[in-house]
Amino acid sequence: MRLIVTSQRDVAGRNIFRVFREEMGFSEAGEFEGMPLLKKGKVAAIATRERQTEAEHLDEHFPGAEYYVFATRHKAVAERKTLTVHVTGNLGREAKVGGSPGTLARAHPSAMKAALLALERERRNLNLEYGVSFEATHHGPTGLEKPVLFVEVGSTEREWRDMRAVRAVARAALEAALCERSYEACVGVGGTHYAPRHTELALQTQYAVGHIIPSYAIPELSARVFEQAVQKSGARFVYLDWKGMKREERARVLALAEELGIPVRRRRQLERRDGDYTPIKADLNLLRAAEKLNSRRMKRVLSSLGVVAERDRSGSLKRLLAKRDVGEEIVSACVDILLARGELCLRGRELVLTYTSFDPEKASRLGLRPGPEYARLRRGESVAVGGRKITPEMVLSRREIRIPIAEPGTLEVLRKTFKYPG
């Protein structure tokens, strides 16, 4: 049995439990702490009276549980809208939110990867304006004998009551509980609390990540805690966010890894090992044009499709690699990014983007100077100069970007999408 755990004390947890009970095919199969115990195949779901960070009592009630998936809220001072996955534990000498100091829970990296992939899929399908990421190891419980992972929605009560996001977490928790695949696991080290490099690794490669030790925890990281992170993750190697660490932090982790006899890897080393990655047939001119217009959205697209981007020394895209053919999906995503800016048409072997934008020269000829008036016009507001009303339309110019398409497969996809004169 795999056990999904929510808390009666948690707004998000109560909403998630309601989704399990009413929408996801669970049936009542008993009672636990005054609430129904739900079952669906080999998965059970409960709502405990305890705070989830303090639910150290579950082993005695569920001795047959293989592992625990906690579906709960995420709270942060930054109040960012986010969907997260992490394993629990206290990396340092304090235990401010449950668990014991210097003690880590057992991780289930493959189930964590399943949850993260499901959250990213739900974010995309439901068009949720939420970030999806791992979090560094933190808080309790730490004393359970079976593996633990948390799947969370945050970071304020507004998000805890957002039923679309709540359903995304419920589905991701269920997928984690149903996980049957086994991936090669690592321990993540370095970077920030939200672990962007380790999140990318899990989304884009065949590897899974267990415990994550952020840069801020390295100065007081003990050899005993580091060994726990490796052993309780079943890790085969340590994955470093090399640029997300100071030199002295890297030196400390490298020394700990050498003492433990576990290899250390960086992303480029892992990519060389992924022999089943193949180049994607997508036109580089199109990719670069879309990335220039909206690099953040382009990065999300590549991440969601499990694509590895190789770049030259200038940072320009050199080629894309993936484990399956996603060329057509990437071309469609590039087209969507361009269409968000203006009108598109295909002229022979050129994709032409036509759009309007603020023209500083027109504004200058009308007597305007750079500053607040420019900003207002860019926002679509009118301004007054010498008693004359200047509207945004008066300072717009029509522009054109021509994108030559050389890759035959990309051209074929575009020809299906756009009418063109032959």
Per-residue pLDDT reduced to its tens digit, 187-206: 999 999 999 999 999 998 88
Determine the Cα–Cα distance for residues 259 and 195; give it in Å rounded to an integer: 25
Determine the Cα–Cα distance for residues 405 and 44; give it in Å rounded to an integer: 53
Is the pLDDT confidence value at 108 over 60?
yes
The pLDDT confidence band at residue 406, using thresholds 50, 70 and 90, is very high
Per-residue pLDDT reduced to its tens digit, 313-339: 567 788 888 888 888 999 999 999 999
Residue type, 354: T
Q: Which of 59-63, 243-247, 386-390, 403-407 has the lowest mean pLDDT?
A: 386-390
Q: Which of 26-30, 56-60, 213-217, 341-345 has the lowest mean pLDDT?
A: 341-345
Kindly list the structural domains of the chain, giving each domain's residue range(s) and its CATH number in brackets, ordered by start: 2-273 (3.40.630.50), 278-349+405-417 (no CATH), 355-398 (no CATH)
Q: How far is CA 53 from the centre of its chain?
A: 23
Q: Transcribe 358-404 into DSSP letters.
A: E-HHHHHHTT--SSHHHHHHHTT--EEETTEEE-GGGGEEEEEEEEE
Residue type, 318: K
Determine the Cα–Cα distance for residues 8 and 33; give it in Å rounded to an integer: 10
**Contact (CB, 8 A) for 286 and 331:** yes
**Residue-level pLDDT at 422:** 40
In this structure, what token pair is assigned to residue 264? 């250390």
Q: Which of 34-48, 264-278, 292-306 has the lowest mean pLDDT?
A: 264-278
Determine the Cα–Cα distance for residues 200 and 133; give it in Å rounded to an integer: 8
Determine the Cα–Cα distance for residues 214 and 137; give it in Å rounded to an integer: 8
**Residue-level pLDDT at 49:** 97
The pLDDT confidence band at residue 421, using thresholds 50, 70 and 90, is very low
Q: Which of 66-70, 156-160, 214-218, 379-383 has the lowest mean pLDDT?
A: 379-383
The pLDDT confidence band at residue 273, using thresholds 50, 70 and 90, is low
Determine the Cα–Cα distance for residues 318 and 325; give it in Å rounded to an integer: 17
**Residue-level pLDDT at 271:** 61
Is the pLDDT confidence value at 301 over 70?
yes
DSSP lists the bridge partners of residue 163 as none
Mean predicted confidence (pLDDT) in 156-175 = 97
Mean predicted confidence (pLDDT) in 197-223 = 95
DSSP lists the bridge partners of residue 396 as 358
DSSP state of 307: P
Which helix (H) or strand (E) segment holds residue 32: the answer is: strand 27-32
Per the model's pLDDT, the better-predicted residue between 77 and 404 turns out to be 404
Mean predicted confidence (pLDDT) in 211-220 = 97
Is the pLDDT confidence value at 290 over 80?
yes
The pLDDT confidence band at residue 207, using thresholds 50, 70 and 90, is very high
Per-residue pLDDT reduced to its tens digit, 225-264: 999 999 999 999 999 999 999 999 999 999 999 999 998 9
**Residue-level pLDDT at 314:** 66
**Contact (CB, 8 A) for 242 and 215:** no
Instruction: Report the chain's mean pLDDT, rounded to a whole number.
Output: 91
pTM over 0.75: no
The pLDDT confidence band at residue 275, using thresholds 50, 70 and 90, is low
Mean predicted confidence (pLDDT) in 128-138 = 97
